[in-house]
Amino acid sequence: MDRMALEDDVLLREVTRFIYREARLQDDHEYDAWEALWADDGVYLIPANGEGGDPEQEMSLVYDNRSRIALRIRQLHTGKRHTQAPRSRLCRIVSNIELLECEGDTIRVTANAVVYESNARGETVWPSRNEYLLRRVGGELRMSLKKVVLINNDKPLYTLSFLI
Amino acid sequence: MGAMEKPFNWAELVRPEHVHGSVYTDPAIFQADLEKIWYRTWVYVGHESEVPKPDDFVMKSIGPQPIIMTRDRDGKIQLLQNRCTHRGNQICQAHKGSASTFTCPYHGWNFGSDGELRGLPFSSGYEGVDRSKLALGRVARIASYKGFVFGSFASEGPTLEDHLGAAHVAIDKLVETSPEGEVEITAGFLQHKVKANWKLLVENETDGYHPQFVHASIFKVAESGIGSLYGPNSTALSRYFGNGHTEFDLRPEFRQRGQLLGWFGTTPEKYPEYVARMRAAYGDDKANAIMIDGTPHTMIFPNLFIAEIQMFVLQATAVDETVQHVTALQFKGAPELNRRMRQQTMGSVGSAGFLLADDGEMYERTQRGLQSRNPEWVYIGRGKHRERRDEQGLLISDVTDEVPSRGMWEHYRSMMEAK
Ligand code: FES
Ligand SMILES: [Fe+2]
């Protein structure tokens, strides 16, 4: 294995650990620890209607800047976010993690995810293709973008109130 | 009444202050809802701005049936059924686009954007057949009010203006928020599905009793001033327009505050260009009044909810399933305001919305609750003793009262009883 490939491999392992950790924090509803994974300029984007066009122009399911991510977390913490009281029971599988490019200090990563949700309504499956922009902040990886493209987002969707 | 249809005693099921739980849960009643309401009265379908050019089309619906809304070559809006007149295949798979013709993929029949049959392959097999009788099915009547397109499957009945009645003011007020007097629907729709009967949603759109409880979490953390509009001391009103249409009239509260753009949680200093354009268009006094009063909060029966900054189109798909198609309202000539409309809409509604995810939870829990058989009735008597008439003779009451539900149900009963 040449040196580049080796460095890639080390980075891939670090990114994979980061994404698995993020998945576990989401499944466990560890809201604060999950919020701490965001960079200050973080954008959380869940497009509607396919890949989604320009989120500045078209409706997305979620298009949160960093302060709206914080608001989302504060709402969950009130205990009166009825749709998460009781909380959904969650189990997600994240796979196909690939590093697509490294530019400057930013790494573009893609992964596939399938989330099983169980709540009073029933069981719902949420399959998605995810994209991350990760950046090192004080030595630690942080998300500056997480884009979750649900593969059924062009159809009517049930309430999505857990962190995906 | 069809031979297979079970007769319902509507006056027994829908009483002045009580509604029987089965009207939300009985599949046979849902079928009756489709026949007597969704496939008969004026149903909102789409907005003219969604098909700006000839041959533009967009997929819409009336209840469970998909409807292709097109603008034909002559610029006329058409509401067509997505069903080939040969053997029933769906002719259009796209959500929207532009097409001068639709070709059925099964045997190649070809229809114009006006629905007319243009061509059929191997046509010698159809000698002597009158093609004009094989046009796509059309919604029997189409009418548009200030850009809002409605369809009715009944070939005869009240006009759209009759149907809207006093509620037309909601659309009048809404378009006046634009300095050019026009709403545009350009931001795309979220489709939020809930396992609940459509009438629970219609009622909740103008239920002023729930916000402080259902939306306590977001009111608390966003420190929004909305919560106090829906309290026991609010001067806002609930109103029944007739024909099933209902609203909250928030103007008394906004007039008391007297703040331009206060309804939108902002100030004129942040939107100087919009304020200037409004004043140029309407004159200072009228422009100021519009900017103080804000946009309507009106439920146009059975499926168009004008919700201040966004618009919901309700689609009844099953006795226990409803889809809310929702988008930000966009005002022609107000790009700065429109951006904030989109941002706030994305935050508050749709599957992940700060507000609507909790409304959705209530719809589903109520639908499940109604399966329990004791008590049999839903009680909608709140504020009965204090309901009154406004200057126009319309029924009003405090904003937390159930005047809108009582009005809606009275209209529902009359539609279900109609032959
Ligand atoms: S079903 Fe459409 S052409 Fe035959
Ligand atoms: Fe609500």
Residues of A in contact with B191 (CB under 8 A): 48, 155-157
Residue B58 Cα to ligand 1 middle (Å): 21
Residue B379 bridge partners (DSSP)? B18
Q: What is the mean pLDDT of residues B381-402?
A: 98
- In single-letter form, the type of residue at position B182 comes to E
Give the Å distance between the CA of B418 and the centre of ligand 1.
Answer: 37
CA distance A79 to A102: 40
Q: Kindly state the tokens that stand for B42.
A: 């004026």
Helix (H, G, I), strand (E, B) or coil at B294: coil
DSSP H or E run through A44: strand A38-47
Burial class (CB in 10 A: 0-12, 13-18, 19+), A88: buried
- Taking the CA of residue A125 and the nearest CA in chain B, the distance in Å comes to 14
- Asked if residue A98 belongs to a domain, the reply is yes
Return the residue matching tokens 């140029």.
Answer: B280
In the prediction, which pLDDT does B224 show? 80
- Sorted by where each begins, the domain ranges of chain B are 43-152, 165-417
Say yes or no: domain B43-152 is CATH 3.40.1670.10. no
**Domain assignment present for A161:** no
Which ipTM did the prediction report?
0.96
The Cα of A34 is separated from the nearest Cα of chain B by a number of Å equal to 17
Share of residues in chain B with pLDDT > 70 (%): 99
Torsional class of B199: left (φ above 0), alpha (ψ -120 to 50), beta (otherwise):
alpha
- Does B95 lie at the interface with A, CB-CB under 8 angstroms? yes
B2-46: pLDDT as tens digits? 555 568 999 999 999 999 999 999 999 999 999 999 999 999 999
What percentage of chain B carries pLDDT values higher than 90?
Answer: 97
Residue A162 is assigned to a structural domain of this protein: no
pLDDT digits (tens, 9 = 90+) for B175-221: 999 999 999 999 999 999 999 999 999 999 999 999 999 999 999 99
Place of tokens 């849902």: B30
Tell me, yes or no, whether A11 lies in a domain: yes
Question: How many degrees, rounded to 5, is the angle at CA B143 between CA B137 and CA B149?
Answer: 90
Which 286-315 residues of chain B touch chain A by CB within 8 A?
Answer: none
Q: Which residue segment(s) compose the domain that A123 sits in? A: 3-150
Q: Are A95 and A101 in contact (CB under 8 A)?
A: no
Find the radius of gyration of the CA atoms of chain A: 16
Which tens digits make up the pLDDT trace of B111-170? 999 999 999 999 999 999 999 999 999 999 999 999 999 999 999 999 999 999 999 999
For residues B389 and A83, give the distance between their C-alpha atoms in angstroms, rounded to a whole number. 38
Most informative mutation of B92, B103, B109, B123 for ligand 1 (most atoms within 8 A of CB):
B109
Rounded to whole angstroms, the Cα distance separating B72 from B83 reads: 18
CB pairs A-B closer than 8 Å: 105
Q: Which residues of A touch B (CB under 8 A)?
A: 46, 48-49, 53, 56-64, 68, 71-72, 74-75, 78-83, 120-121, 154-161
What tokens does A155 get?
């159809």
Q: Specify the residue with its C-alpha closest to ligand 1, atom 4.
A: B107
Packing angle of the helix pair B284-293, B168-176 (nearest 10 deg): 120
Q: What is the least distance, in Å, from the CA of B283 to any CA of chain A? A: 30
Of B186, B356, B364, the CB nearest to A121: B364
Neighbours of A16 (CB within 10 A): 15
Radius of gyration of chain B (CA): 23
Pocket test for ligand 1, best of B86, B101, B117, B134 (most atoms within 8 A of CB): B86
Q: Among all residues of chain A, which has the CA nearest to that of B350? A: A61
Q: From the alpha carbon of B120, which atom of ligand 1 is closest?
A: 3
What residue in A sits closest to B189 (Cα-Cα)?
A: A59
pLDDT of residue A2: 64
Nearby residues of A41 by Cβ (< 8 Å), 6 or more positions away: A66, A144
User: Is B47 within 8 Å of chain A by CB?
Assistant: no
Structure tokens at B301: 């029966």
If pLDDT is split at 50, 70 and 90, which confidence band does B1 have? Answer: very low
Of the candidates B360, B338, B337, which has an alpha carbon nearest to the alpha carbon of residue B348?
Answer: B360
Q: φ, ψ for residue A77 (rounded to 5)?
A: -75, -15
Q: Whose CA is nearest to atom 1 of ligand 1?
A: B87
Pocket of ligand 1 (CB under 6 A): B 84, 86-87, 89, 104, 106-109
Q: Where does B48-106 show beta strands of DSSP type E?
A: 56-62, 65-71, 77-81, 96-98, 101-103
CA distance B202 to B130: 44
Alpha-helical regions (H) of chain A: 3-27, 31-35, 66-77
Residue A8 phi, psi (nearest 5): -55, -45
Any domain includes A78: yes
Q: Give the chain A residue nearest B323 (alpha carbons).
A: A156
Distance B95 CA to ligand 1 centre (A): 20
Query: B165-417 domain in CATH 1.10.260.40?
Result: no
Residues with CB under 5 A from ligand 2 (ion): B 359
Minimum distance, in Å, between the CA of residue A90 and any CA atom of chain B: 16
The pLDDT, as a whole number, for residue B349 is 98
CB atoms within 10 A of CB A146: 25
Q: Does a structural domain hold residue A156?
A: no
In ligand 1, the atom with minimum distance to the C-alpha of B84 is 2
pLDDT (tens digit per residue) in B54-96: 999 999 999 999 999 999 999 999 999 999 999 999 999 999 9
Is residue A37 one of the residues assigned to a domain?
yes
Helix (H) or strand (E) holding B290: helix B284-293
What CA–CA distance (Å, rounded) separates B48 from A122?
Answer: 38
Residue A164 lies in a domain: no
Q: What residues of chain A lie within 8 A of the CB of B50, using their CB?
A: none
Q: Do A49 and B358 touch (CB under 8 A)?
A: no
Mutation test residue for ligand 1: of B89, B91, B111, B129, the one with most atoms within 8 Å of CB: B89
- CATH (domain of A68): 3.10.450.50
Per-residue confidence band for B321, with pLDDT thresholds at 50, 70 and 90 = very high
Q: Is B210 helix (H, G, I), strand (E, B) or coil?
A: coil
Q: Do the beta carbons of residue B91 and residue B84 sit within 8 Å?
A: yes
- Beta-bridged to residue B314, according to DSSP, are B324
Chain A residues with CB under 8 Å of B218 CB are 75
Nearest CA in chain B to A152: B191
Distance B47 CA to ligand 2 centre (A): 25
Work out how many domains chain A is built from and give that number. 1
Whether cis (ω within 30° of 0) applies to the bond prior to B302 is: yes
* Distance (Å, whole) CA A16 – CA A20: 6
Quick: pLDDT tens for B220-264. 999 887 888 999 999 999 999 999 999 999 999 999 999 999 999
Of A48, A74, A155, which has the smallest distance from its Cβ to B221's Cβ? A74
B217 touching chain A per CB within 8 A: yes
Residue pair B227/B236 in contact by the 8 Å Cβ criterion: no
Kindly list the strands in the beta sheet with B321-328, ordered across the sheet, starting from the edge strand earlier in the chain. B190-194, B321-328, B310-318, B304-307, B297-300, B245-249, B237-242, B395-398, B388-389
Mutating which of B341, B358, B368 best tests the A interface, going by the most A Cβ atoms within 10 A? B358
For each of chain A's 164 residues, which pLDDT tens digit applies? 566 677 789 999 999 999 999 999 999 999 999 999 999 999 999 999 998 789 999 999 999 999 999 999 999 999 999 999 999 999 999 999 999 999 889 999 999 999 999 999 999 999 999 999 999 999 999 999 999 999 999 999 999 999 99
